[in-house]
């Protein structure tokens, strides 16, 4: 039997490449190479060995044997870094491997021990070893339930001139984020070439970094908007931007900002009006999340520009929109103008709006009951069924697929008015596919037969461009359900906006004879299995 350590270099390199997707920090997405800035001619000229990516060559220290040690010492070009896990208590082994690895870059991952409820002393012991070699650290991951601040402060005296990735996750409660220390002292020593920042559930109110490729601030306090935008503006190669934040205030900032102005949060007086827009031509993923606590992520939208190929993900709860998010953001407005097909799903109290080309995804929590007026019983914080389409209007949307699943025990109240508002938000649709339970179908059909007023105050049937209607039943409909659908089609035809093609299950003969007077083309399909 041939030992793995006895295989030729090229085979070992292929093995390491194949492992790269599982060798990453907890919570980190699958490996995606950072955009290379080096000249392609230089890369192609170096053909002696393949470029082994960061996060590819990882050996858990507790499994290191004599053969792997020999491999490290005899074939060092295979190794781009060594990952040290703080939960491994054998400080002597850590010290031995670090010292014998020469000048190889280090990837440090400090985690809680699975064998001990309190591994603080183990962590501090490993840190004391690492501190002597801190100039070799390329990646630093701190994923701890507790003691994250103490661990960071213990590294504050270390020199980190090669640090490229900083990955911090804690388990602080949202209210604890405000009580945490306002500064992370390690950033006093980290300057360049930091490329990746991921901070979750922690105060991060200082951001003195440029040239980032990935910036993720999740469930925490961020720097003031002008400083956050300065970092984004000076990171033209930024590929991933993820924000779920509350902005920290300047000393001269307004601490008494009225909560009623939440929809105007993008108008921040601390951002100079003559500041240029941050052009992010390499941005591949934009993810912004807003909730009643971390409510400021959408503030960056008027100040950034990104290509139409960017995958955009919005998530919000406890929010109603007086104006759209695309107001002031030309890139988002251009992306919205190119969306022609959307899938919309209501799963109990959660709504999902998805476009695959271009990539736009919006998910939000829907209030149990909708309020007609914003000031009625906290109605200004109760998202309506139509809220996603109001947040990002889609003016050229032609095809809409809707799936409705509402558990009667969830507390969600569906009614005619909710679906009227939903269809009023998508007036341009020409094709509508509805997947609905018969118990909820009457709300959909009566909403589509509603007479509304257009921009000129003329009375027209809702969704006047609708020509193709597809109905999929989640259970066998009754005769009343068929009659409701027939009346919907009849009302639309009477209003001059009849359905040209209806696709659904076979109608009873009597109802079909009446339906044929309103719909010229009826396509019968079988029940869904």
User: Which residues touch 424 (CB under 8 Å, ≥6 apart)?
Assistant: 386, 452, 462
The pairing of beta strand 341-347 with beta strand 350-355 = antiparallel
d(CA 452, CA 379): 23
- Given a contact cutoff of 8 angstroms between Cβ atoms, the answer to whether 215 and 200 are in contact is no
For 462, the token pair is: 């809702």
Q: Which residue has the tokens 């002696």?
A: 48
Across the range 2-21, mean pLDDT stands at 71
pLDDT tens, residue by residue, 452-497? 776 677 788 999 999 999 999 999 999 999 999 999 999 999 989 9
Give the pLDDT of residue 135: 86
- Say which residues have a Cβ less than 8 Å from residue 302's Cβ, sequence separation at least 6: 266, 267, 327, 328, 329
Question: Other C-beta atoms within 10 Å of 39: how many?
Answer: 9
The closest of 243, 363, 388 to 303, measured between CA atoms, is 243
Rounded average pLDDT over 57-64 = 48
3-state SS of the chain: helix, strand, coil percent to 5?
Answer: 30, 20, 50
Q: Provide the pLDDT confidence category of residue 57 given band limits of 50, 70 and 90.
A: very low
Instruction: Kindly state the greatest CA–CA separation across the chain.
Output: 87
How far is 299 from 249, CA to CA, in rounded Å? 14
* Better-predicted residue by pLDDT, 326 or 66: 326
Q: What angle do CA 436, 360, 209 make, to 5 degrees?
A: 145
Share of the chain above pLDDT 90, in %: 41
* Closest by CA position to 141, among listed 105, 172, 166, 159: 166
Strand partners, 376: none
Model pLDDT for residues 107-132, shown as the tens digit of each residue:
888 877 655 555 677 777 778 888 88
Residue 438: asked if its preceding bond is cis (omega within 30°), the reply is no
- What is the model's pLDDT at position 253? 45
Q: How many CB atoms sit inside 10 A of residue 368's CB?
A: 11
> What pLDDT digit, counting tens, does each position of 321-331 carry?
878 999 989 99
- Lowest-pLDDT range of 214-228, 241-255, 369-383: 369-383
pLDDT at 436: 94
pLDDT at 14: 74
Asked whether residue 283 carries a pLDDT value surpassing 70, the answer given is: yes
- Please state the rounded mean pLDDT for residues 494-520: 93
Q: How far apart are the first and last CA of the chain?
A: 52
Contacts of 466 (CB under 8 A, 6+ apart): 429, 430, 431, 432, 448, 492, 497, 499
Beta bridge partners of residue 502, listed in sequence order? 469, 522
511, two tokens: 């109802």
Q: Quote the CA–CA distance of 425 and 385 in Å, as a whole number.
A: 10
How far, in Å, CA of 430 to CA of 343, rounded?
Answer: 14
Beta pairing, strands 350-355 & 360-365: antiparallel
DSSP letter, residue 29: P
Cα–Cα distance measured from residue 363 to residue 470, given in angstroms and rounded to the nearest whole number = 24
pLDDT value for 89: 53
Q: Please, what is the Cα angle at 283 between 278 and 284, to 5 degrees?
A: 160
Q: Categorize the per-residue pLDDT at 54 as very low, low, confident or very high, splitting at 50, 70 and 90.
A: very low
Residue 275 is predicted with a pLDDT of 80
Task: Give the count of beta carbons closer than 10 Å to the beta carbon of residue 259.
Answer: 9
Per-residue pLDDT, 177: 53
Stretch 430-451: mean pLDDT: 94
């Amino acid at each position: 039997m041939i030992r793995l350590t006895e295989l030729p270099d090229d085979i070992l390199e292929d093995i390491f490449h194949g492992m790269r997707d599982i060798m990453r920090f907890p919570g980190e997405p699958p490996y995606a190479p950072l955009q290379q800035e080096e000249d392609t001619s230089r890369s192609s000229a170096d053909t002696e060995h393949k470029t082994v990516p960061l996060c590819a060559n990882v050996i858990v220290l507790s499994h290191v044997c004599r053969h792997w040690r020999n491999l490290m010492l005899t074939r060092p070009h295979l190794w781009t870094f060594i990952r040290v896990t703080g939960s491994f208590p054998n400080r002597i082994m850590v010290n031995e491997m670090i010292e014998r690895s020469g000048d190889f870059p280090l990837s440090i991952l400090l985690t809680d021990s699975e064998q001990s409820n309190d591994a603080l002393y183990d962590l501090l012991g490993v840190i004391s070893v690492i501190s002597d070699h801190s100039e070799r650290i390329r990646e630093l991951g701190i994923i701890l339930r507790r003691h994250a601040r103490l661990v960071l402060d213990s590294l504050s005296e270390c020199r980190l001139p090669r640090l490229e990735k900083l990955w911090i996750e804690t388990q602080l409660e949202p209210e604890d984020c405000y009580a945490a220390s306002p500064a992370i002292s390690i950033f006093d020593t980290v300057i360049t070439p930091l490329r990746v920042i991921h901070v979750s559930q922690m105060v991060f109110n200082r951001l003195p970094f440029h040239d980032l490729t990935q910036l993720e601030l999740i469930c925490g306090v961020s720097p003031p908007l002008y400083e956050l935008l300065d970092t984004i503006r000076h990171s033209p190669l930024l590929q991933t931007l993820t924000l779920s934040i509350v902005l920290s205030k300047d000393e001269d900032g307004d601490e008494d900002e009225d909560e009623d102005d939440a929809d105007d949060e993008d108008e921040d007086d601390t951002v100079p009006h003559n500041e240029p827009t941050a052009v992010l031509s390499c941005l591949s993923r934009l993810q912004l999340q807003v909730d009643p606590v971390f409510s400021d992520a959408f503030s960056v939208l008027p100040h950034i520009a990104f290509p139409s190929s960017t995958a955009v993900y919005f998530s919000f709860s406890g929010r109603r929109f007086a104006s759209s998010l695309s107001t002031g953001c030309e890139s988002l407005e251009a992306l919205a103008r190119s969306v022609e097909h959307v899938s919309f799903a209501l799963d109990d109290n959660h709504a999902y709006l998805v476009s695959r080309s271009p990539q736009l995804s919006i998910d939000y929590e829907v209030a149990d009951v909708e309020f007609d007026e914003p000031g009625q019983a906290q109605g200004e914080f109760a998202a309506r069924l139509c809220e996603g389409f109001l947040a990002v209007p889609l003016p050229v949307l032609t095809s809409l697929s809707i799936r409705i699943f509402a558990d009667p025990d969830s507390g969600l109240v569906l009614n005619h008015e909710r679906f009227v508002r939903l269809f009023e938000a998508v007036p341009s649709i020409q094709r509508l596919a509805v997947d609905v339970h018969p118990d909820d179908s009457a709300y959909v059909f009566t909403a589509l037969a509603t007479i509304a007023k257009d921009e000129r105050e003329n009375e027209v049937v809702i969704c006047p461009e609708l020509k193709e209607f597809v109905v999929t039943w989640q259970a066998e409909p009754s005769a009343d359900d068929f009659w409701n659908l027939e009346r919907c089609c009849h009302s639309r035809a009477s209003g001059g906006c009849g359905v040209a093609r209806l696709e659904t299950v076979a109608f009873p003969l009597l109802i079909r004879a009446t339906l044929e007077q309103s719909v010229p083309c009826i396509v019968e399909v079988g029940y869904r299995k």
